[in-house]
């Protein structure tokens, strides 16, 4: 019996040694109370049990260290710029913030008070350095006073200084080596591993911008990866199982999270090599090239011509977008704007289902969506369908799966403003069947919410908000990030709408907007190879939100075979394009000389080829090199003219 008891105890100890949880830090205190106030900090420990409390330090006009994420107090109901205000002026303001349906009030908190709370609650401080007077890349003259205050409070061995400013990290490492430092970053960690090693600075990386290989790389350097921000159990498991040692949270409850299994690092590194993805531009029209068709949809167009054509769909190789204000269906292809086969409506959403049926909203931008128009594949006959949602709200965009004309039917997806679930409308044999709702999603819908179906299965889809991350929904599991929004430099996702998952070369790939907001640049990730970026494409222009009412880009994939597909991209106000994506060698057009890919070889192809030579068009070299001499020049124009005359 004693032997059994001893064996049981040893097993329990072994299990405990292999089970773990990361360290949890409360983001600006926590979700209870006005952010960065004394109440939020105390509740972060009392209510949530966070081991650390994160704050953002600023410096007042009279040199007091105070806590505020923003440079001004405007967002919380004040009207002062912190660097230009005295502490007394700031202290007189009352701040208000509604979080989780509860409205809180509070006052500005000083670093001294915050450090006292950390001592009171036995929490370690995480102090983020914002660009403030004497606390920035160019001037750290106020840091000695801050360091002295931390030391005076007896927290020099517990404090973590966090900042994205590399010169500030270098200053702290050189002059205060006793302090722990974390470098705040996103995808830019990839070019700074060596720098982190020299500065002994653990990286704190945004969710969606790293993988287990990242953690393993820093682990080999003797560093640990922290991250921000995690608020679902799905993401806790996802990133915890990558070996992240510290997580910053708003409202995740550590005591409700399961323990994680220890990682066998000897088996890390078996991730498949990323696909070697290539692209040929078949055509491209953009603001930067100056070749946009006349009256191309643009929010800035004066007199109101075509300034509400936001979403786009592809039918038979032509990009269609519906301008709801003028009830005009616009069509664009290799030759610019072409005649539309379909009538326009007063709705904004437009998409195709998996069978190629075109589906268009026909109920304006109402908060109670209720009418669709279906154009069956191969037909221009409009079929109206009335429906109703369970959770109403305005939404600009729709998406579809299945075959709405078949007996088994298909589904139309709505992610409406103010809703925390998707509504899925089933249509079969061109008639409304029913509407169901998904489980709770991790972001509240806006009018720019978008659902991307994966299969014709309402329990499996991708969803996104313009200002939030891109999530995967698997039945009730709504918390897993595919990628967050973190910056304006590719490959980081920006805050634009738009994404799509597809397969090529045996790999699962994912496309999302990147580079400057709303301008049409995009990145393709290889999900099979742990989200490694395999392609970045530059912006169409720089018109941004002023030109692009949709705040996004819309992607359509047309499969050719397992290693080839066409990608269509539409960005309101900025441009549209068609690419051949491929693994291995490209597929040449079936008709030699069809430069503009319209199915015919004629004088319009000569114009397209000349524009390619002049640099005003982006047709693929493999298509334009008609005499196969390895160069695209005037000799190819001669070869094309001869081809036209002799065909």
Q: Which position has the token pair 């409202």?
A: 251
Query: Would the pLDDT of 388 be above 90?
Result: yes
Q: Which position has the token pair 């004394």?
A: 38
CA atoms within 13 A on the CB side of 96: 5
Q: In the chain, what's the furthest Cα-to-Cα distance?
A: 99
- Residue 589 pLDDT: 59
Q: Which position has the token pair 């517990």?
A: 158
Sequence-separated (6 or more) residues with CB below 8 Å from residue 82: 58, 59, 60, 66, 68, 71, 72, 73, 90, 132
Query: Would the pLDDT of 69 be above 90?
Result: yes
Q: Which domains does the chain have, with CATH numbers?
A: 18-264 (3.20.20.190), 278-587 (2.120.10.30), 604-646 (no CATH)
> pLDDT by residue (tens digit) across 449-463?
999 999 999 999 999
Query: Would the pLDDT of 290 be above 80?
Result: yes
d(CA 74, CA 65): 19
- Residue 369 pLDDT: 85
d(CA 301, CA 309): 12
Q: What's the mean per-residue pLDDT of the chain?
A: 90
The model's confidence at residue 479, banded by pLDDT at 50, 70 and 90, is: low
Sequence-separated (6 or more) residues with CB below 8 Å from residue 319: 312, 313, 331, 332, 333, 556, 568, 570, 576
Length of the chain: 647
> pLDDT by residue (tens digit) across 548-576?
998 999 999 999 889 999 999 999 999 99
Report helix angle 603-614 to 634-646, nearest 10.
170
The model's confidence at residue 10, banded by pLDDT at 50, 70 and 90, is: very low
- Residue 281 pLDDT: 93
What is the pLDDT averaged over residues 353-360? 96
The model's confidence at residue 11, banded by pLDDT at 50, 70 and 90, is: very low
- Residue 630 pLDDT: 64
Per the rule left: phi > 0, alpha: psi between -120 and 50, beta: everything else, 530 is left
- 124-129 and 52-59 beta bridge pairing: parallel
Q: In what order do the strands lie in the sheet with 318-323?
A: 313-315, 318-323, 328-333, 336-338
Query: Would the pLDDT of 18 be above 70?
Result: no
> pLDDT by residue (tens digit) across 146-176?
999 999 999 999 999 999 999 999 999 999 9
d(CA 246, CA 261): 16
Query: Would the pLDDT of 259 be above 60?
Result: yes
Report helix angle 166-175 to 143-152, nearest 10.
50
d(CA 237, CA 259): 9
308 and 549 in contact (C-beta within 8 Å)?
yes
> pLDDT by residue (tens digit) across 365-375?
778 889 999 99
- Residue 5 pLDDT: 42
- Residue 629 pLDDT: 67
- Residue 489 pLDDT: 65
Query: Would the pLDDT of 1 be above 70?
Result: no
CA 540 to chain centre: 19
- Residue 346 pLDDT: 93
Query: Would the pLDDT of 123 be above 90?
Result: yes
Q: What is the CA radius of gyration of the chain?
A: 28
> pLDDT by residue (tens digit) across 190-241?
888 889 999 999 999 998 888 898 999 999 889 999 999 999 888 899 999 9
- Residue 14 pLDDT: 41
- 23-26 and 246-249 beta bridge pairing: parallel
Task: Pull the structure tokens for residue 390.
Answer: 């369970």
> pLDDT by residue (tens digit) across 271-281?
778 899 999 99
607 and 601 in contact (C-beta within 8 Å)?
no
d(CA 123, CA 99): 23
Instruction: Write down the H helix ranges in 483-564.
Output: 544-547
Number of C-beta neighbours around residue 350 at 10 A: 27
Query: Would the pLDDT of 340 be above 60?
Result: yes
Beta-strand ranges (E) seen in 527-574 are 532-537, 554-561, 564-571
d(CA 139, CA 130): 12
The model's confidence at residue 487, banded by pLDDT at 50, 70 and 90, is: low
- Residue 627 pLDDT: 78
What is the pLDDT averaged over residues 495-499? 90
Q: For the chain, what percent of residues have pLDDT higher than 70?
A: 93
Number of C-beta neighbours around residue 211 at 10 A: 17
- Residue 486 pLDDT: 66
Q: For the chain, what percent of residues have pLDDT higher than 90?
A: 69
> pLDDT by residue (tens digit) across 309-329?
999 999 989 999 999 999 999
């Amino acid at each position: 019996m004693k032997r059994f008891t001893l064996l049981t105890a040893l097993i329990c100890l072994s299990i405990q040694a292999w089970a773990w949880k990361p360290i949890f830090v409360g983001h600006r205190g926590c979700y209870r109370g006005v952010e960065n106030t004394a109440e939020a900090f105390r509740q972060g420990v009392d209510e949530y049990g966070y081991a650390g409390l994160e704050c953002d330090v600023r410096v007042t006009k009279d040199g007091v260290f105070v806590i505020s994420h923003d440079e001004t107090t405007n967002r919380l109901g004040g009207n002062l710029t912190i660097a230009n205000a005295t502490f007394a002026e700031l202290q007189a303001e009352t701040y208000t913030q509604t979080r989780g349906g509860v409205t809180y009030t509070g006052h500005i908190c000083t670093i001294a008070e915050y450090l006292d709370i950390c001592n009171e609650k036995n929490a370690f401080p995480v102090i983020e350095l914002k660009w403030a007077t004497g606390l920035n890349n160019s001037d750290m003259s106020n840091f000695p006073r801050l360091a002295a205050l931390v030391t005076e409070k007896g927290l020099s061995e517990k404090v973590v200084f966090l900042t994205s400013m590399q010169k500030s990290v270098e200053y702290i490492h050189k002059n205060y080596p006793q302090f722990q430092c974390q470098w705040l970053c996103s995808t830019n960690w990839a070019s700074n591993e060596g720098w982190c090693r020299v500065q002994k600075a653990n990286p704190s990386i945004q969710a969606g911008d790293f993988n287990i290989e990242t953690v393993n790389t820093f682990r080999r350097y003797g560093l640990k990866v922290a991250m921000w921000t995690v608020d679902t159990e799905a993401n806790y498991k996802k990133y915890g199982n990558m070996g992240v040692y510290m997580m910053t949270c708003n409202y995740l409850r550590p005591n409700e999270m399961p323990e994680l299994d220890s990682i066998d690092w000897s088996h890390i590194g078996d991730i498949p090599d990323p696909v070697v993805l290539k692209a040929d531009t078949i055509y491209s029209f953009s603001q930067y090239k100056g070749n946009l068709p006349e009256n191309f949809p643009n929010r800035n167009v004066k007199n109101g011509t075509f300034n509400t054509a936001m979403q786009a769909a592809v039918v038979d190789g032509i990009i269609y977008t519906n301008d709801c204000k003028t009830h005009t269906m616009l069509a664009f292809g290799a030759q610019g704007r072409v005649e539309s086969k379909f009538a326009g409506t007063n709705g904004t959403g437009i998409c195709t289902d998996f069978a190629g049926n075109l589906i268009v909203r026909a109920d304006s931008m109402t908060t109670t969506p209720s009418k669709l128009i279906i154009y069956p594949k191969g037909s221009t006959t409009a079929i109206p369908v009335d429906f109703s949602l369970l959770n109403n709200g305005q939404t600009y965009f729709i998406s579809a799966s299945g075959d709405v004309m078949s007996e088994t039917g298909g589904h139309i997806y709505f992610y409406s403003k103010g809703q925390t679930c998707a509504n899925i409308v089933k249509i079969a044999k061109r008639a409304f069947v029913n509407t169901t709702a998904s489980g709770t999603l991790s972001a509240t819908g806006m009018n720019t919410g978008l659902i991307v179906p994966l299969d014709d299965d309402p329990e499996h889809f991708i969803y996104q908000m313009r200002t939030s991350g891109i999530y995967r929904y698997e039945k009730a599991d709504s918390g897993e990030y595919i990628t967050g929004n973190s910056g304006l430099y590719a490959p980081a996702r920006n805050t634009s709408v738009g994404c799509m998952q597809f397969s090529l070369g045996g790999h699962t790939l994912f496309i999302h907007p990147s580079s400057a907001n709303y301008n049409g640049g995009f990145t393709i990730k290889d999900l099979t190879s742990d989200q490694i970026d395999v392609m970045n494409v530059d912006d169409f222009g720089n018109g941004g939100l002023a030109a692009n009412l949709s705040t996004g880009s819309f992607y359509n994939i047309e499969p050719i075979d397992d290693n080839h597909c066409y990608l269509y991209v539409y960005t309101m106000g900025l441009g549209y394009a068609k690419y051949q994506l491929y693994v291995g060698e490209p597929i040449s057009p079936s008709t030699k000389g069809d430069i503009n890919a319209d199915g015919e070889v004629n004088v319009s192809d000569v114009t397209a080829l000349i524009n390619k030579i002049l640099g005003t068009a982006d047709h693929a070299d493999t298509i334009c090199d008609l005499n196969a001499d390895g160069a695209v020049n005037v000799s190819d124009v001669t070869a094309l003219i001869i081809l036209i005359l002799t065909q």
